[in-house]
Structure 1
Amino acid sequence: MAAPITSEAFSCFLFYGVLLVVKMYILAIITGQVRLRKKAFANPEDALRHGGLQFHREDPYVERCRRAHVNDMENILPFLFLGAIYSMTGPCLAVARTHFLVFFVARCLHTVAYLFGLKAPTRSLAYVVAQIPCVSMALQILAAVAAYA
């Protein structure tokens, strides 16, 4: 039997971290489904399997979905690293939860804004808001380990 996770901050991080990974999987599935619906395949072998090489092409909405997914990878992966380390520094649970929740909500809003092409500055604002807890966690990690450097 696995040992229970005793850090409340780390448990909170795991909750939001797993939700973000699930969100990334959902976005990958959406991208694949849009490719199928639009018959716009990135690889010739996929196009051949779904009707012919004429479907080895780009589609603006498929590209929008793909860019949203790439943006998630560029931002969620660093969050997962920072959040895990930050959780080990013994942060106040309420502050840690706020960091994780703000990042999660902002990234969800960013994805919705990306997929639906919401008017500026919704997507940019969601991006910036999600960066605030990441910068805060990074600074707090650095402050916690500065004496050992």
Structure 2
Amino acid sequence: SNPAAAMIRNEVFSCFVFYAVLLVIKMYTIAIITGQVRLRKKAFANPEDALRHGGLQFHREDPYVERCRRAHLNDLENILPFLFLGAVYSLTGPSLTVARLHFLVFFLARVLHSLAYLLALQAPTRSLAYTAAQVPCVSMAVQILMSVASFA
């Protein structure tokens, strides 16, 4: 009785893992974009990188590089809690349909949030995407608390 195999056989947990891995790939993509924009704009955070790419004058900030960094930081602040909540929520025995809806809404909202951030889309696209992603997280948190409250 391998506990890891049992978790992967759990359809809800497998569904969560699918979206969690897509979200991690999305985060890596934003990091790669940030690096590429740094190179293109010649705006390096570290003096040694600036020296390697033309001189200390390139040890500087660039507004678009900073926008990419903020998008990445926002992912860290929101996707990391989702990874915890989604994993624990998966183990509380929710219906697959309801769980998939939670994971899908979060995933799509975070993709839209990143696009809105990187493309500087007009308000309120980014804030609506942010809020839409919070809804399934709050829902999962409440359901987790209700399922463990009797043990607290």
TM-score category, normalised to shorter length:
over 0.9
Say whether 1:31 aligns with 2:52. no
Looking at structure 1, the residues matched to 70 and 52 of structure 2 have their Cα atoms a distance apart, in angstroms, of 24
Looking at structure 1, the residues matched to 5 and 72 of structure 2 have their Cα atoms a distance apart, in angstroms, of 34
Of residues 65, 72, 75 in structure 2, which corresponds to 1:72?
75
Pairing of 1:5-84 with structure 2 (within 5 A): 5-84=8-87
Looking at structure 1, the residues matched to 115 and 5 of structure 2 have their Cα atoms a distance apart, in angstroms, of 37
Q: Quick one: which amino acid aligns to residue 100 of structure 1?
A: F
Aligned-pair CA distance for 1:3: 2.8
- Which position in structure 1 is the counterpart of 2:144? 141
Cα distance per residue 1:48-69 (max 9 Å; x no partner): 1100000000000000001000
Of residues 103, 106, 123 in structure 2, which corresponds to 1:120?
123
Looking at structure 2, the residues matched to 117 and 6 of structure 1 have their Cα atoms a distance apart, in angstroms, of 41
Looking at structure 2, the residues matched to 74 and 44 of structure 1 have their Cα atoms a distance apart, in angstroms, of 27
Q: Quick one: which amino acid aligns to residue 8 of structure 1?
A: E
Structure 2 unmatched runs, 5+: none
Looking at structure 1, the residues matched to 91 and 133 of structure 2 have their Cα atoms a distance apart, in angstroms, of 21
Aligned-pair CA distance for 1:6: 1.2
In the comparison of the two structures, how many residue pairs are matched?
149
Name segments (4+ residues, structure 1) moved above 6 Å: none
Cα distance per residue 1:119-147 (max 9 Å; x no partner): 00000000000000000000000000000
Looking at structure 1, the residues matched to 13 and 73 of structure 2 have their Cα atoms a distance apart, in angstroms, of 26
Looking at structure 1, the residues matched to 117 and 88 of structure 2 have their Cα atoms a distance apart, in angstroms, of 29
Aligned-pair CA distance for 1:20: 0.1
**TM value normalised by structure 1:** 0.98
Structure 1 unmatched runs, 5+: none
- Which position in structure 2 is the counterpart of 1:3? 5
Q: Quick one: which amino acid aligns to residue 39 of structure 2?
A: L
**TM value normalised by structure 2:** 0.96
- Which position in structure 1 is the counterpart of 2:99? 96
Q: Quick one: which amino acid aligns to residue 14 of structure 2?
A: S
Q: Secondary structure at the match of 1:89?
A: coil
- Which position in structure 2 is the counterpart of 1:108? 111
- Percent of matched pairs sharing the same residue: 79
Q: CA RMSD in A?
A: 1.1
Looking at structure 1, the residues matched to 5 and 80 of structure 2 have their Cα atoms a distance apart, in angstroms, of 25
